[in-house]
Structure 1
Amino acid sequence: MFLLDTPVSLAYDLVTGLSDLLRPVAGGLATAAAITVFTAAVRLLLVPLAVAAARGERVRSRLLPKIQALQSKHARNPQRLRRETAALYEAEGATPLAGCLPMFAQMPIFMVMYRLFVSASVAGHQNLLLAHTLLGVPLGQNWVGLVGGGLFAPPSLVFLGLFALLAAVALWTSRRAAKAGAAAGTGTGAEAAMGAVARIMPFGTVVVAAFVPLAAGLYLLTSGLWTAVERAVLYRRIVAAA
């Protein structure tokens, strides 16, 4: 926990500064807008990892005929198949896990955003961000804590709107993942499993958003939208162009 104190303090200063900067334009939505801008800045820094992931997908598509040949040749020897497949990827300087790099890199940032809006104090001072709201709902509030006040009460409706947007983004992302998987073929059993996870995982954001602060839900929505657009652009420019 102590390792997160400095990143949380830095995030507090960045979000607060962005909020002050945006207030003349965004008014009461300034802090929510600051979280959106903060998230977009994080994703911009992670673009090189996304490009690497797209290039890895292009390599996997190119290697698919060789992988399928190995599957046929070593169908009765799973250990030999794994070794030969790993050697093939190594020779190409690729890895099946390349597509997961942006997601793994984001996890610490998401945890920082979560900590920022559940901590009463930051760097020994009162966390003033907890007093900021979106459409009347505190950014540190989670949906589960509001259910007792009525599913369709105004504060709950803000979360339901967030869930609907997250679900829409998840559906789009899942469909694109399914389309990309169909174009690439079946691959190895491990790759097929990862493809299934890639199609299901986006919907997990809806579940997570019900338990984390509203601010963290905004992070998930912004990051999800960025991912959807980023994958569409990179797939067209790098993967499909191969």
Structure 2
Amino acid sequence: MDLYAFPPLAAILDAAYSGLLLLAELLQPLAGDAAAAASVILVTLLVRTALIPIGIAQAKAEQNRSRLAPQLRELQRRHRRDPERLQRETMKLYSDEGVSPFAGCLPMLAQAPVLAVVYALFAFAAIAGHPNALLAEHLAGVSLGTGLFAAVGAGTATLATFAVFGVLIAVIVVTAEITRRAFRAPDAERTDAAPLAGAAGRLVGALQFTTAVIAVFVPLAAALYLATTVVWTLVQRLILRRRYPLSPA
């Protein structure tokens, strides 16, 4: 069953298709043959701009968890032999203080529908019954609909394919590693002192590197979206960390 054929989703996809083509046409004088790729980057930046309030909420939640670190350590000391009680008391503390241990996951979850649309726009030969003109668009000689894994499997991968995907995947991996090092959770927020916060932190860290794996399987346009958004995320978090610094350990 093709979920994108469901009428409401098909209408959204068709509207996104028309909008991206129009945006590519507007960018043509500036970006030339890379206008469609530039459109994907611009859409990514617009989406991330709209999600800035969520990023601020995430930074505030990190700051609040840091502020609660002494209380989390005390809970660990008192209930270290009773993990279930520790988890209940930890959640009660978060609830009483209005802090979410999973705030770090919100930006990635909020982007999932947009990434699904970008993926579909460059994965199907036809959109709403008409040929998909976006598949004729390229970046550095590689079709925006090309997937690295699919191209290698079909024997159609070229040097340009490996080069373009290699650059994007390298950007994702390097950015993820910088993010991991820059935002490593303090001791008090790790699993032994705050199980749920630690789990959320590990999940966010894992997803950062999983993004590089995903980029291998999705169309080039979606990989471009992923690379752009991980760089944005790093820059945004660095700025917000200065605005909302963590409490001293």
TM norm structure 2: 0.89
Residues 1:47 and 2:61 aligned together: no
Q: Which amino acid aligns with 2:186?
A: A
8 Å contact kept, 2:175–2:234: yes
Q: After TM superposition, give the deviation of residue 183 of structure 1 in Å.
A: 6.9
Deviations 1:150-184 (A, max 9, x none): 87723222211222222221221221222xx1376
What's the counterpart of residue 161 of structure 2?
Answer: 155
1:177 aligns with 2:179: no
Q: 1:135 aligns with which of 114, 135, 140?
A: 140
Shift of 1:241: 7.8
2:173 aligned with 1:164, yes or no?
no
Q: Within 5 Å, which residues of 2 pair with 1:75-86? A: 75-86=80-91
Letter in 2 for 1:182: P
> 1:15 aligns to what?
20
User: What corresponds to 1:93 in structure 2?
Assistant: 98
Cα RMSD between the aligned structures?
Answer: 1.9
**SS of corresponding position for 2:183:** helix
> Kindly tell me: are residues 91 and 9 of structure 1, through their superposed partners in 2, closer, same or farther at Cα, counting changes over 3 Å?
same
Q: Is the 8 Å Cα contact of residues 150 and 156 (structure 1) preserved in structure 2?
A: no
Match of 1:188 in 2: 194
Structure 2 partner of 1:124: 129
SS at match of 2:225: helix
**Contact 2:59 2:241 survives alignment (8 Å):** yes
Structure 1: stretches of 5+ with no match in the other structure: none
State how far apart, in whole Å, the 1-side matches of 2:183 and 2:212 are: 18
Q: Percent identity?
A: 42
2:39 paired with 1:29: no
Cross-structure match for 2:224: 218
- After TM superposition, give the deviation of residue 194 of structure 1 in Å: 2.6
Q: Which residue of 2 aligns with 1:146?
A: 151
Aligned partners of 1:192 and 1:169: how far apart in 2? 21
Shift of 1:62: 0.7
- Gap change, CA 1:66 and 1:241, over 3 Å in 2: closer
Q: What secondary structure is seen at the aligned counterpart in 2 of 1:239?
A: coil
Alignment TM-score, normalising by the size of structure 1: 0.92
TM-aligned CA deviation for residue 190 of structure 1? 2.7
Distance 1:89 1:224, change over 3 A: same
d(CA) in 2 for partners of 1:219 and 1:25? 20
Moved over 6 A (4+): none
Asked whether the equivalents of residues 146 and 156 of structure 1 are also in contact (C-alpha less than 8 Å), the reply is: no
Which position in structure 2 is the counterpart of 1:229? 235
- What amino acid is the match of 1:118? A
**1:18 Cα deviation after fit:** 1.2
Q: Equivalent residue for 2:118?
A: 113
How many residues in Structure 1 have an aligned counterpart in Structure 2?
240
